[in-house]
Amino acid sequence: MAQSKYLQDLIEPVVSSLGCELWGLEYHASGRHRGTLRIYIDKPEGVGLSDCEKVSRQVSSVLDVEDPIQGEYTLEVSSPGMDRPLYTLEQFAEFVGEQVKVRLRVPFEGRRQFKGLLSGIEGDEVKVVVEDDEYLLPIESIDKANVVPGFSDLPGKKGRGK
């Protein structure tokens, strides 16, 4: 996690200077010396290919100089997409009322996977309603969370990326 915070602090000013928001980042190591650094960027009017290219070039230059990741890796820059990952309480709050899929690092009440309605935030916990049961999931226990795309939603309706 410390590396992730360091990478975020390194990358965020670069992304902001290009008129975008750093939505999140993920680093996945595959094998001993190969990994993927995935950066998600966003902006109110949407992200285009040229935005991804500009951010990729600038971030790549910074990473070449700072060299924060040992070994070889692939840099990917994209928009969060319709199945947008959620990383922070603020991001979860923005999507209250939407369907989400949440995977926990460790089981809670015997399960790690939750798919249901994001009904709110309480302190540092995310409220998810699955069928008729409401779960309060601590943000630090969440391994991965995504908005479930609503294909019947009309463009311009509540929430980004729709």
**Where are the chain's structural domains?**
2-78, 89-147
CA distance 103 to 32: 25
Q: Is the pLDDT of residue 66 over 60?
A: yes
State CA 64 to chain mean position distance: 24
Parallel, antiparallel, or unpaired for β 111-122 and 21-30? unpaired
- The secondary structure element, H or E, covering residue 63 is helix 49-66
Using one digit for the tens of pLDDT, what is the confidence trace for 90-139?
Answer: 999 999 999 999 999 999 989 999 999 999 999 999 999 999 999 999 99
Q: What is the CATH number of domain 2-78?
A: 3.30.300.70
Using one digit for the tens of pLDDT, what is the confidence trace for 28-40?
Answer: 887 766 889 999 9
Of residues 130 and 161, more confidently modeled: 130
CA distance 149 to 63: 33
Lowest mean pLDDT among 65-74, 103-112, 141-150: 65-74
Find, among 71, 70, 14, 7, the residue nearest to 38 by Cα: 7
Provide the CATH topology of domain 89-147. Answer: SH3 type barrels. (2.30.30)
Model pTM score: 0.83
Question: For a pLDDT cut of 70, what percent of the chain falls above it?
Answer: 90
pLDDT at position 33, please? 66
